[in-house]
Chain A
């Protein structure tokens, strides 16, 4: 811990900080670091910028985190876990592989369009931040890839796709999300839904199934765009 961090921590201890509020402070700073990094970029984000998002004092910040990097890593671990659980739940509660993947994508796109700054931190800035958040990122990719790999249950053993297919599909979806977020236009992801379904189904089942998945996603998107999109864009980030 730096001298500045130690001094700040001691200051709070001497003030007798209200422990009941400490969980809120930590949670607020974790949300704040993601929003600040999503807006300013990881390199440009300072502890001051985090506190401008979350409120609170430097002393409180350093009671929970050693540095900006530590705060980002903890925030990433918490939020990527929440997102993974939500996506896996969307897929698991929808019958059929194709419909499950589509439902998970819809949930992902809702999150990205509703919370673009946090999404940008989770998808783009984590790659700038590096370790230890990147290790969590790799674990999340593996976990989602294992879930998407359930497609194998519907494929004959003679036509089984390569082992790397799950990671490949997750990487393609992630790369599309990064592209939309980096361009500052997350809503464009909705237009990509049919193409991403083509990409995911094609990677496991080949061209014919991919075209069917594309058609079904296109029809669904055309008919139910408003319902699928669910929430208004950017409704919470200051």
Chain B
């Protein structure tokens, strides 16, 4: 998580060797002179990252708040100071990562226009491809986040299910916005079905445990999505 790395410094940006569990990203114990609000923000970010990691590890069926606190390296008391329950924590993680995913896509499309000017502005398929590549690159870099955003959440957790619906709507609107800016939508549900299918494909590739398979999906996914709209 980018924000976490900004707070914790460059050492944390170094990747953990494969098969080695990352050490909890804890602040120094005792008196450290770090302002209380920064400590609190740091704890929250660790919990959000741990929620995605615990979900990838345990799945929705076995996910527990205890595992989230363990991975975050905080106490149960600290967990409940931040979140009402497990689902509130997971919802916050979901919304944070969904926001980051959308920002990545928007930034990639904007960067293309900045680099290539009016040509890129007119090249709608090119911009859509840039957005799709950015989304897959983002998800491949963070497999736990890919799992969090692509897996179908328990419908009983209404807020989480609603957050997923919002993400699907938002990604669908972004796709349509690039391809037909300001245009009427002939089939209101089509983008939703395309994005739902894309997320199912991401979930399936993520489950394979090989992030490279997600990156390699870009040409195929772009071709299928663009053929239908």
Tell me the minimal C-beta distance from B101 to chain A in angstroms.
17
Tell me the minimal C-beta distance from B168 to chain A in angstroms.
8
A172-B193, A172-B194, A172-B197 are known contacts. Are A162 and B223 too (CB-CB below 8 A)?
Answer: yes
In the bound assembly, the distance between CA atoms of A168 and B198 in angstroms comes to 7
Contact present for B197 and A169 (CB under 8 Å): yes
In the bound assembly, the distance between CA atoms of A84 and B156 in angstroms comes to 27
Contact present for B151 and A127 (CB under 8 Å): yes
Contact present for A195 and B190 (CB under 8 Å): yes
In the bound assembly, the distance between CA atoms of A214 and B190 in angstroms comes to 11
Q: How large is the interface on A (under 10, 10 to 19, 20 to 34, 35 or more residues)?
A: 35 or more
Main secondary structure of the interface of B (DSSP, over half): helix
B residues 200-229 in Cβ contact with A at 8 Å? 200-201, 204, 207, 217, 219-221, 223-224, 227-229
Partner among B155, B200, B207, B219 whose Cβ is within 8 Å of the Cβ of A182: B155
By a beta-carbon cutoff of 8 Å, the part of chain A in contact with chain B is 41-44, 69, 120, 124-125, 127-131, 134, 138, 141, 161-165, 167-172, 174-176, 178-179, 181-182, 192, 195-196, 198-199, 202-203, 206-207, 210, 214
Which of A138, A165, A202 counts the most chain B CB atoms within 10 A? A202
Assess whether B35 is interfacial by the CB under 8 Å rule: no
B residues 175-205 in Cβ contact with A at 8 Å? 187, 189-190, 192-194, 196-201, 204
In the bound assembly, the distance between CA atoms of A38 and B62 in angstroms comes to 17
A141-B204, A199-B228 are known contacts. Are A175 and B197 too (CB-CB below 8 A)?
Answer: yes
**Chain B residues with CB below 8 A from A192, complex form:** 189, 193
In the bound assembly, the distance between CA atoms of A91 and B96 in angstroms comes to 42
**Chain B residues with CB below 8 A from A129, complex form:** 59, 61
Task: List the A residue with the shortest CB-CB distance to B227.
Answer: A206
In the bound assembly, the distance between CA atoms of A210 and B227 in angstroms comes to 10
Partner among B156, B161, B190, B221 whose Cβ is within 8 Å of the Cβ of A164: B221
**Chain A residues with CB below 8 A from B59, complex form:** 128-131
Task: List the B residue with the shortest CB-CB distance to A204.
Answer: B227
Tell me the minimal C-beta distance from B89 to chain A in angstroms.
16
